[in-house]
Structure 1
Amino acid sequence: MTRRAGLWRRMTRAFDVDAVPVTVIDDMAPDPDGWNTGYADTAGTGYRTVARRLPLLIATSIRLAAEASKPRTIALLVVQTASSLAGAFSLYATTDVLAPLFGAGATPDRIRAALPSMLVVLLLTASRSLCDAIAKAFAQQLGPMMDARAMIRLQELCTRAELVAFDKADWVDASQRAERGSISARSMLAITQQVLQSLATLIGVAGVLAVLHPVLVPLLLLSVVPRWWAAVRVARLDYKVFVRWVEGRRRQNLLIGLAVTTSSAAAVRALSLSGYLVERYRRITDAYLAERLQLVRAETSSMIVGNAIAGFFTGVVYAVLALLLWRQAIPLAVGGTAYLAVSRVQQALLGLAMDINELYAEGLYLEDYRSFCDDAAGHLPPAGSESTPEEFDEILVEDVVFTYQGAKTPAVAGVSLRVRRGQVVAFVGENGAAKTTMAKLLGRLYLPDSGRITWDGRDSAQMDIDTLRSRIAFIDQDHTRFPFTAGENIRIGEWTAEPDPARIEEAARHAGAHQFISALPRGYDTLLERSLSGGLSVSGGQWQRLALARGFFRRAALVIADEPTSSLDAAAEAAFYHRLREYGGTIVMITHRLGNVAECADYIYVFAEGRVAEQGTHAELVSADGWYARSYLLQRQSFEKVDSVSRQNGSSSTNTDGNSLPEPIRSS
């Protein structure tokens, strides 16, 4: 008994894709909200569910096609119906062809008697072929239109969703699955076309067989159901592995990116990372390969069993047909028609099984797309109910609290501050003190969990987000390197404005970028992306100057400069802040170089542990002898010491960060 149980377990392992468990690679642990949800949904799907969902899947496919082009969709359905009717009637007409051919008399006479029916069959067959070709043409036109709608919707949602959505652990995995699902609508339309064609053929042929002899219909079903079972099982297993290896494939792509991109090429060689990166890639690939091979074994075993059972019942069908002919239960002509009907209905049923399998699988991918779009739509900014002022007298932050997704403690823990029109306000403090988070809240990149940020008494959370952000220029240290020309990289600071070359150049001059841009092969029309034809790359400092120029081009009422000069030397940073002061408007600056704060800032907020620990003018804070005073004096002494050494060596210092700080600051 034990031996039989062991043999049974070994046999069933061949069908089980979970016989090889998912291998966790370093920090590539599966996220329960990302992988396991899709895994559980797929594993729990039964065959009845597949059949039950078929009408919904077909209706969804037709509705999506109609959203892309209603006239083409109607035409497709009409032509497809005509094709199906032509196929059914051609089979009925086949009996009229075979009856004279199998009858008595001379061969020429039999052929002449069958000729009218033969012409009808040929006409119907040609009509069906023509209709199929036209239907395929409509489907090929609808496919790209459906893809375009789906991808545009995905792009719109991903670019408009609140920034907090990107802090969710499963956002990237879900968006990748959604990208795969975005092409499922087109695939579903093509498969739906085949399903409708197979269903129409099946109904027509089943009607013929029922008239010839009713026993043939259930026998035919028995010959196809096992293959149907195998096909649906394969789809479930395939989808299961796809879902739970999304993160693994993404990690593989990231490692490939490190190997082939110019931005990482120097670091990979300087650190001699070839062996390390290859080994990490090999471990992920080997783990995926082991599971993939088990998947192939499970799928192959399922198909072998299904085909074997189906083959047996197919033999039974032909044996019954032969028996009916032998006993003269049906005429020879009807038997010939029945043979053709058996072949056609088998092809239709088998094709239907495969098509429904694919339709269901694509429906699962489409569901990923739909669920991601629904989730992203839930993160869209609310419609504005408050008007947004062109200018403002003051911005008030009132007891604001904000916590990042998954964090246990607030990043901003009850901050209140004021920014008056025309002021230069500085946020300073140690790394992690919440300066950048507060800047993002001011820039309406995040909404506070509690508290308010008001512009002249109007809550910014109730304003139209696009209008509000058009009043703000956010220049941060993590600037994006857009694959556009140098001029376009500046113009997108306010892309709705006219592309005025003089205004672009003025912004570049303010940022100290005009000189290096002019030296590029095509000046402002030079493409700044080495991987594209005719493109090239510039240095990190030059990219930062382009980001600064983008901020100058915006001409906003509020400018937030979050360490935008981290790649520039001390002298260049000082020059930037002086230009920013001349630029006008209201400025919130974040920097660790307190000498620039002393020269430029009208008012200073010192952050610590998510709170405002000190505030005041430079003179007031120095007099208070707190963290700011100690840090400022320490930086000044450090700079003076370096400057003295430089003068003794006959050179001037322009590359001192002066980031040495005293003991950690504590919020009061």
Structure 2
Amino acid sequence: MGAGVGPELSRVRWIQAWRRLVTARWRVARFTRHGNRPAAAAMLALNVVLGLLPAVFIVATSVLIGRVPAAVRDGLDSAAWDSLVTAFAVAGAALLTMQALSPVEQALFSVVRQSVDATMRDRLMERTLAASGMAAMEDQRVLDALARATSDLDKEDEGPGAGAAASIAVVRNWTALLSMATLAGVAAGWWAGAGVALVAGALRWRQRRQMRVAEAAFTAAARDLRGWEYFRDLSTGAAVAKETRVFGLTSWLADRTSAFYAAYTVPLQRIYEDTQRREAFAALASGIAILGTVAAVVGAQAAAGALSLTAFALFLQAAAAAIPLGDFWGRPDIGSQSGLRHHRAITDLDNALASHRAPAATEPTTALAPDAPSRSLDLVGLRFRYPGSEELVLDGLDLTLQAGRTTAIVGVNGAGKTTLVKLLGRLYEPTAGRIEVDGVDVSTVDIAAWRRHLSVVFQDFLRYELSVRENIAAGFPKAPVDDAVVAQVAHEAGVLDALRERGLGLDTPLARVYTGGTDLSGGQWQRIAIARSLYALHHGARVLVLDEPTSALDVRAEAQFFDRFVDLTRGATTVLISHRFSSVRRADDIVVLDRGRVRERGSHGALMAAGGEYARLFGLQAARFRAGLDAEGAPRPTEEDR
């Protein structure tokens, strides 16, 4: 009994693997529901016809061959000659019909592919954008699956659209193969048809297995593929052209690109060569043995007169047409395998994203007042560690931010300042503790509703390759663009005059790759980002969070900006994150963070008088600035240098 466990287990596993494959193929075929359905239906009908036409052609030509002796013997006016001409006409019509319908089928393939790709691209965007926080987009599993899911989109013969279209296109090949095996059986006996089907089927199995093995290797190499694509784009992009040449990085970039390409492709080539040598020999040897035996027996029957010339010709043509159908099918094989790859990637992506979905709310969603916070924004016992890390970035942080006032948060690198910005934006949820707005826990507030109360300037703010107007109006995209407000906040941020001095307007594209486009200095881009946040304030945001908002401005420009900053943000609850102590001295309240906790708090004057950590760091930075250095001790550039 125990001896049978191994084979039985293998059989069960084989059945399970086969079921998974069939299920996956069915789901890939169902991608057609997301595309042009009439085109898919027409393509299916057309492929059935195209799969049967070769059989019509072979039957007609076999009849033609069989009628030749009688037609030659009886002459042009005989019934045999008329039958030969009819067979010729049928064969010619079948051939011409195939030639005429094939371009139509290719056009329908493209229509189905493009329509499915467009829908699947949108669905993929919905999946990734549905994550309300950042954790999912920093998860290695999500990134790997996403790279695989997007790698084949919009390619001619690959991707979900090609997979859906290929699921229809294979009908032509399978119809042709089965019809050839049937014709061989009709001509020489069922065993001859079975032999042809067996050889063609074995070749088909080997071909598909080889593609599945290569696909498994492709999946395992997803990270190397992402690395190669990154360095390839880095090597050919204009954004890094200056730095790579100045620092002599061109050879290093080329070497890294080649290394990732080799890590990605060499294992695939090795697997392909191994399976090709081992399995191709076995398939070739067995195919020759089986088909050779069948052909010898059929030939002997024909020689003995047991088979007519028509039947013998029919068998030979059917067998000759069936064997190539066991080999690589080109576009249908590439497309169907790519569709399976996309299906697996989407499944993996959904599984990876599932771990980041917030649990269903246990309390009803709380509505915030339009002017919230009107009293305070409270951080209560906040603890936070990044996914996969055991280190607490915030460790029991308790902090009250008074509504309508500017609170500056300072501290050394790693103190938790930027992490606090992410928690305020609910890009991450606290590991423990809570954030309250006028006593309301923000975790019970709809996340989109809370973010409408929030305006943020991140350190790594986005530089959209759009017009000045669109870059600024991105601060509140739900409302129609208000040009008057755009111009006002651009002026308040100090960028409008700089643009006009260069003859630029709000319609100017901020990218040189567009006609009439331009690029801005680092300081000017930072002013665009500040204007974007001020635009959101004009549209109802009540909390303004600025993370190093003037790091790209020189000291004089920074001082001028903060001289007006209090007036610009009057009435808003402002959180200013900075490592420049000169930029926070005008804040109503200053908080010194250290290892995720509040170490000191007070006004600039009070903290300087206390002689604690703030006073020590302020003195160090002041000495550096007097020496012509920046806050980190490096030579200080001007805004134009940036």
TM-score range, shorter chain: 0.7 to 0.9
Q: Say whether 1:589 aligns with 2:557.
A: no
Q: Specify the alignment match of 1:77 in structure 2.
A: 44
Q: Specify the alignment match of 2:5 in structure 1.
A: none
Give the deviation of 1:179 after TM superposition. 0.9
Judging changes above 3 Å, is the alpha-carbon distance between structure 1 residues 57 and 79 closer, same or farther for their aligned structure 2 residues?
farther
User: Deviations 1:458-485 (Å, cap 9, x if unpaired)?
Assistant: 3322333233222211102222222222
| 1:57-68 → structure 2 map (5 Å cutoff) | 57-68=24-35
Q: Specify the alignment match of 2:424 in structure 1.
A: 442
Give the length in aligned residue pairs: 602
| 1:544-623 → structure 2 map (5 Å cutoff) | 544-555=526-537, 556-583=541-568, 584=570, 585-599=572-586, 601-623=587-609
Q: Is the 8 A contact 2:57 2:91 kept in 1?
A: yes
Judging changes above 3 Å, is the alpha-carbon distance between structure 1 residues 529 and 312 closer, same or farther for their aligned structure 2 residues?
farther
Q: Say whether 1:497 aligns with 2:479.
A: yes
Q: Alignment partner for residue 520 of structure 2, among 504, 524, 538?
A: 538
SS in 1 for 2:601: strand
Q: Specify the alignment match of 2:3 in structure 1.
A: none
Letter in 2 for 1:188: G
Q: Alignment partner for residue 617 of structure 2, among 621, 631, 635?
A: 631
Q: Is the 8 A contact 1:167 1:404 kept in 2?
A: no
Matched residues in 1 for 2:473 and 2:93: separation?
Answer: 63
Q: Which segment is superposed worse, 447-456 or 142-151?
A: 447-456
Judging changes above 3 Å, is the alpha-carbon distance between structure 1 residues 512 and 377 closer, same or farther for their aligned structure 2 residues?
farther
SS in 2 for 1:473: strand
Q: Is the 8 A contact 1:401 1:448 kept in 2?
A: yes
User: Deviations 1:196-216 (Å, cap 9, x if unpaired)?
Assistant: 112222333333333331121
Matched residues in 1 for 2:21 and 2:261: separation?
Answer: 36
Matched residues in 2 for 1:86 and 1:64: separation?
Answer: 28
| 1:175-194 → structure 2 map (5 Å cutoff) | 175-182=146-153, 183-194=158-169
Q: Which segment is superposed worse, 431-440 or 256-265?
A: 256-265
Q: Specify the alignment match of 1:26 in structure 2.
A: none
SS in 2 for 1:487: helix
Q: Is the 8 A contact 1:219 1:316 kept in 2?
A: no
Q: Specify the alignment match of 1:337 in structure 2.
A: 314
SS in 2 for 1:606: strand
Matched residues in 1 for 2:239 and 2:110: separation?
Answer: 40
Q: Specify the alignment match of 2:303 in structure 1.
A: 326
Q: Specify the alignment match of 1:220 in structure 2.
A: 196
Listed as ranges, the gaps of 5+ residues in structure 2 are 1-11, 634-642
Give the deviation of 1:336 after TM superposition. 1.6
Matched residues in 2 for 1:657 and 1:289: separation?
Answer: 46
Q: Is the 8 A contact 2:218 2:268 kept in 1?
A: no
Give the deviation of 1:93 after TM superposition. 5.7
Q: Say whether 1:206 aligns with 2:181.
A: yes
Give the deviation of 1:560 after TM superposition. 0.2
Q: Which segment is superposed worse, 340-349 or 122-131?
A: 122-131
Judging changes above 3 Å, is the alpha-carbon distance between structure 1 residues 288 and 152 closer, same or farther for their aligned structure 2 residues?
closer
Q: Is the 8 A contact 2:467 2:508 kept in 1?
A: yes
Q: Which segment is superposed worse, 376-385 or 628-637?
A: 376-385
Q: Is the 8 A contact 2:142 2:353 kept in 1?
A: no
Give the deviation of 1:588 after TM superposition. 0.5
Matched residues in 1 for 2:67 and 2:339: separation?
Answer: 48
Q: Specify the alignment match of 2:208 in structure 1.
A: 232
Relative to the length of structure 1, the TM-score reads 0.80
User: Deviations 1:496-550 (Å, cap 9, x if unpaired)?
Assistant: 2322332222111111111222244543323222345554322211211111111
Percent identity between the two aligned chains: 26
SS in 2 for 1:448: coil
Q: Is the 8 A contact 1:84 1:128 kept in 2?
A: no
Matched residues in 2 for 1:111 and 1:96: separation?
Answer: 11
Letter in 1 for 2:371: E
Letter in 2 for 1:566: S
Judging changes above 3 Å, is the alpha-carbon distance between structure 1 residues 358 and 234 closer, same or farther for their aligned structure 2 residues?
farther
Q: Say whether 1:141 aligns with 2:127.
A: no
Q: Specify the alignment match of 2:507 in structure 1.
A: 525
Q: Is the 8 A contact 2:404 2:574 kept in 1?
A: yes
Q: Is the 8 A contact 1:603 1:616 kept in 2?
A: yes
Letter in 2 for 1:610: G
Q: Specify the alignment match of 2:6 in structure 1.
A: none
Listed as ranges, the gaps of 5+ residues in structure 1 are 1-44, 643-654, 661-668
Matched residues in 2 for 1:315 and 1:95: separation?
Answer: 21
Q: Specify the alignment match of 2:125 in structure 1.
A: 155
| 1:639-650 → structure 2 map (5 Å cutoff) | none
Alpha-carbon RMSD across the aligned residues, in angstroms, is: 3.4
Q: Specify the alignment match of 1:106 in structure 2.
A: 74
Matched residues in 2 for 1:622 and 1:264: separation?
Answer: 43
User: Deviations 1:577-614 (Å, cap 9, x if unpaired)?
Assistant: 34332122111101123343231x22232211112223
SS in 2 for 1:416: strand
Matched residues in 2 for 1:450 and 1:327: separation?
Answer: 90
Give the deviation of 1:81 after TM superposition. 3.3
User: Deviations 1:14-72 (Å, cap 9, x if unpaired)?
Assistant: xxxxxxxxxxxxxxxxxxxxxxxxxxxxxxx9987776556434422331112223333
Q: Is the 8 A contact 2:207 2:328 kept in 1?
A: no
Matched residues in 2 for 1:621 and 1:233: separation?
Answer: 72
Matched residues in 1 for 2:88 and 2:358: separation?
Answer: 67
Give the deviation of 1:354 after TM superposition. 9.4
User: Deviations 1:266-316 (Å, cap 9, x if unpaired)?
Assistant: 333433334544444455556667546535532542475134543454433
Matched residues in 2 for 1:619 and 1:60: separation?
Answer: 68
Q: Is the 8 A contact 1:154 1:373 kept in 2?
A: no
Q: Is the 8 A contact 2:44 2:169 kept in 1?
A: no
Q: Specify the alignment match of 1:5 in structure 2.
A: none
Q: Is the 8 A contact 2:60 2:91 kept in 1?
A: yes
Q: Which segment is superposed worse, 201-210 or 403-412?
A: 201-210
Q: Is the 8 A contact 1:181 1:368 kept in 2?
A: no
Q: Is the 8 A contact 1:198 1:349 kept in 2?
A: no
Give the deviation of 1:638 after TM superposition. 6.2
User: Deviations 1:351-389 (Å, cap 9, x if unpaired)?
Assistant: 569956863464134311332245336545678833243
Q: Is the 8 A contact 1:395 1:456 kept in 2?
A: yes
Q: Is the 8 A contact 1:90 1:121 kept in 2?
A: yes
Q: Specify the alignment match of 1:166 in structure 2.
A: 137
Judging changes above 3 Å, is the alpha-carbon distance between structure 1 residues 77 and 276 closer, same or farther for their aligned structure 2 residues?
closer
Judging changes above 3 Å, is the alpha-carbon distance between structure 1 residues 513 and 170 closer, same or farther for their aligned structure 2 residues?
same
Matched residues in 1 for 2:208 and 2:392: separation?
Answer: 48
Q: Specify the alignment match of 1:316 in structure 2.
A: 293
Q: Is the 8 A contact 2:492 2:531 kept in 1?
A: yes
Give the deviation of 1:126 after TM superposition. 4.9
Q: Which segment is superposed worse, 587-596 or 243-252?
A: 243-252
Matched residues in 2 for 1:82 and 1:164: separation?
Answer: 51
Judging changes above 3 Å, is the alpha-carbon distance between structure 1 residues 353 and 214 closer, same or farther for their aligned structure 2 residues?
farther
SS in 2 for 1:163: coil
Matched residues in 2 for 1:333 and 1:348: separation?
Answer: 23
Judging changes above 3 Å, is the alpha-carbon distance between structure 1 residues 46 and 83 closer, same or farther for their aligned structure 2 residues?
farther
| 1:280-319 → structure 2 map (5 Å cutoff) | 280-281=256-257, 283-284=259-260, 291=267, 294-295=270-271, 297-298=273-274, 300-302=276-278, 304-305=280-281, 306-319=283-296
Matched residues in 1 for 2:13 and 2:335: separation?
Answer: 15
Give the deviation of 1:406 after TM superposition. 1.9
Q: Is the 8 A contact 2:184 2:196 kept in 1?
A: no
Q: Which segment is superposed worse, 325-334 or 90-99?
A: 90-99
Matched residues in 1 for 2:523 and 2:275: separation?
Answer: 54
Q: Is the 8 A contact 1:441 1:447 kept in 2?
A: yes
Q: Is the 8 A contact 1:491 1:499 kept in 2?
A: yes
Matched residues in 2 for 1:74 and 1:273: separation?
Answer: 54
Judging changes above 3 Å, is the alpha-carbon distance between structure 1 residues 207 and 63 closer, same or farther for their aligned structure 2 residues?
same
SS in 2 for 1:454: strand
